[in-house]
DNA sequence: ATTCTAACCGACCGTTTGGTCGGTTGCAAA
DNA sequence: TTTGCAACCGACCAAACGGTCGGTTAGAAT
């Protein structure tokens, strides 16, 4: 057979990139087909419709990448320094073009949460999973931190700020504002230590 | 004559609401026309095209409302408490439906910054104006605050977190997560005092 | 009463979109 | 060698989009 799995993988890969750059709605199937060099029939053989394609991209591309990005960060011996290094490195290594694309999770949250329930529940589940990941690892070193901290609250706060700064840099087209927010975020995170 | 100014105003009002709820691209002219009970000819008599309509909505509706919202908050005698009360009140008074719509500025920033230069520069200008508003008012009471604070950095941080929390609540459909982030944000802001 | 024009109407247009479907092709099993 | 079917093709479709334009109407100015 022609390699079915490879075709499917290529579609997911290209779709993930297009959705990241243009958003879900603005991503056209014809553009995906052109980049994959396949026909519309091929795509609809593998996916029921555009929405389902979006779900699979989220589940099989974005979600694993997202966890793979945050998990090592926060499971480091010192999660406080892990987070700070994570954000700082992001500030240093990301190109301006990458930065402007924003975080796929935040982008989809903004665009699709209010439009499609299927996306909404998947995004919410991801947010909660990430929150659990961060808050449990903060709790792990709670004896080094300030007393009376609400770890879940702190975790949502950190992620919100990060997503907000991603959004901010979309309008500035440079890393300056992103860097500023990240610097202050690191200052805040380190303040959590007693 | 039929009241030209009233027609124009109605178009802007309805468009602002539609764009706030659905985003710029997803807002269809036909929907605006239906709600205004006017024809396509009437709309194109007042505005050159959809993009220009969007610009005018931003400049004549969103921008003034945005400044009117933040200015009193931060020009209060104690801007620290002003900000905290502002956020807390938002947490308390906003309905869930309103919350889910998010901040018009942040929404447009996410959707349009990367797509249209005209939107991008307007949004950026607004971000900078807001930053100046907050940072100068923090500087005004700098003797009450921690030493060595970068006020611009702090201001961008606060707005980023606020926008991030707006985004977050889109996926949760309730105020719980928004409240959590806002509570932590107030804790952070009050910590700025020495 | 006539004229002039801003204000408005709505049929029409080209383009793009997601989606359908009858047909073709390649490969593996029988 | 034949058969069967997953994999793929691409012409076609209806709907929706932003935008155009020749025509109509209301009302102020002369």
> pLDDT by residue (tens digit) across B141-175?
999 999 999 999 999 999 999 999 999 999 999 99
Does residue B110 lie within any of the structural domains?
A: yes
Contacts of A100 in chain B (CB under 8 A): 113-114
Percent of chain B with pLDDT over 90: 98
Does residue B120 lie within any of the structural domains?
A: yes
pLDDT of res. B1: 60
State which residue of chain B sits closest to A121, comparing Cα positions.
B171
Does residue B14 lie within any of the structural domains?
A: no
Residue B76: pLDDT over 90:
yes
Q: Which of B123, B153, B180 has its CB closest to that of A152?
A: B180
- The C-alpha of B36 sits at a distance from chain A's nearest C-alpha, in angstroms, of 23
Residue A1: pLDDT over 90:
no
Does residue B96 lie within any of the structural domains?
A: yes
Kindly report, residue by residue over A2-35, the tens digit of the pLDDT.
Answer: 789 999 999 999 999 999 999 999 999 999 999 9
pLDDT of res. B82: 98
pLDDT of res. B102: 96
Q: What average pLDDT score do residues A72-95 get? A: 96
**Distance of C1' in C21 from CA in A102, Å:** 39
Kindly report, residue by residue over B24-47, the tens digit of the pLDDT.
Answer: 999 999 999 999 999 999 999 999
Return residues with beta carbons within 7 A of strand D.
Answer: A 1-4, 7-8, 38-42, 44-46; B 1-2, 27-31, 40-41, 44, 49-51
A153 touches chain B (CB under 8 A): yes
Residue B57: pLDDT over 70:
yes
Kindly report, residue by residue over A156-182, the tens digit of the pLDDT.
Answer: 999 999 999 999 999 999 999 999 999
Q: C1' nearest to CA of A44: which nucleotide?
A: C19
Listing DSSP states for A72-130 in one string gives: HHHSSSSHHHHHHHHHHHHHHH--HHHHHH--HHHHHHHHHTTT-HHHHHHHHHHHHHH
Close Cβ partners of B136 (under 8 Å, ≥ 6 residues apart): B151
pLDDT of res. A194: 82
Q: E-assigned strands of B120-169?
A: none
Q: Which residue's structure tokens are 């750059």?
A: A21
**Distance of C1' in D24 from CA in B6, Å:** 21
Q: Which residues of chain B from 57 to 86 reach within 8 Å of chain A, CB to CB?
A: none
Rg (CA), chain B: 19
B162 touches chain A (CB under 8 A): yes
**Distance of C1' in D24 from CA in B151, Å:** 60
Does residue B87 lie within any of the structural domains?
A: yes
**Distance of C1' in D5 from CA in A4, Å:** 14
Q: What average pLDDT score do residues A110-125 get? A: 98
Half-sphere exposure of A66 (CA within 13 A, CB side): 24
Q: Which residue's structure tokens are 């009002």?
A: B13
Give me the number of domains chain B comprises: 1
State which residue of chain B sits closest to A100, comparing Cα positions.
B114
Q: Look up the domain containing B128 and give its range.
A: 51-191
- The C-alpha of B70 sits at a distance from chain A's nearest C-alpha, in angstroms, of 17
Does residue A4 lie within any of the structural domains?
A: no
Residue A139: CATH number of its domain: 1.10.357
Confidence of residue B194 (pLDDT cuts 50, 70, 90): confident
Mean pLDDT of chain A: 97
Q: What average pLDDT score do residues B102-114 get? A: 97
């Amino acid at each position: 057979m022609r390699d079915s799995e490879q075709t499917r993988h290529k579609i997911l890969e290209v779709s993930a990139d297009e959705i990241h750059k243009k958003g879900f709605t603005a991503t056209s199937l014809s553009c995906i087909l052109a980049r994959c060099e396949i026909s519309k029939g091929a795509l609809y053989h593998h996916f029921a419709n555009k929405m389902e394609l979006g779900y699979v991209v989220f589940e099989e591309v974005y979600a694993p990448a997202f966890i793979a990005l945050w998990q090592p960060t926060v499971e480091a011996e010192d999660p406080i320094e892990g987070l700070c290094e994570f954000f700082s490195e992001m500030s240093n290594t990301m190109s301006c073009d990458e930065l402007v694309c924003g975080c796929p999770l935040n982008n989809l949250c903004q665009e699709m949460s209010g439009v499609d329930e299927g996306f909404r529940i998947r995004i919410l589940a991801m947010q909660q999973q990430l929150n659990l990941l961060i808050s449990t690892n903060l709790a792990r070193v709670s004896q080094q931190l300030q007393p009376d901290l609400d770890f879940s609250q702190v975790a949502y706060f950190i992620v919100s700020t990060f997503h907000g700064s991603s959004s901010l840099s979309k309008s500035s087209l440079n890393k300056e504002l992103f860097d500023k927010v990240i610097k202050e975020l690191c200052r805040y995170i380190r303040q959590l230590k007693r």
